[in-house]
Structure 1
């Protein structure tokens, strides 16, 4: 199943960030994904394959 990701979406990943948070905001979409931790605001660049493997679900905006 193909999921359509857009900039600004909040996603929950399978593994937590070292700060303990699992919710991330998507900053860049393409062959690579740049995501930002909502808690500590650190950003990470992941390949599409690694991002889709670690994706769990869309998170509810607070």
Structure 2
């Protein structure tokens, strides 16, 4: 997956689901050197380096409207 094809507000699916088991989708809420994603099921926020995020990203479910 190309590092440049995700944007702020996109809904993404990661390779592993969140342990809450309510949702497998996350919303990108912050971008920079680190990426912050929020679980759509329980609202938990996870922060990880951009290169780690790109490696764990499975696919983009919904693009944000700009």
Q: TM range, normalised to the smaller chain?
A: 0.7 to 0.9
SS across alignment from 1:39: coil
State TM-score, norm by structure 2: 0.81
Greater relative contact order structure (CA < 8 Å, 6+ sep): 2
| Structure 2 alignment gaps of length 5 or more | none
TM-score (norm 1): 0.86
User: How far, CA to CA, are the matches of 2:37 and 2:44 in structure 1?
Assistant: 8
| Structure 1, unaligned runs of 5 or more | none
1:6 match: secondary structure? coil
Q: Which residue of the partner structure matches residue 45 of structure 1?
A: 47
RMSD over aligned Cα atoms:
1.5
TM-fit CA distance, 1:22: 1.7
**Runs of 4+ in structure 1 over 3 Å off:** none
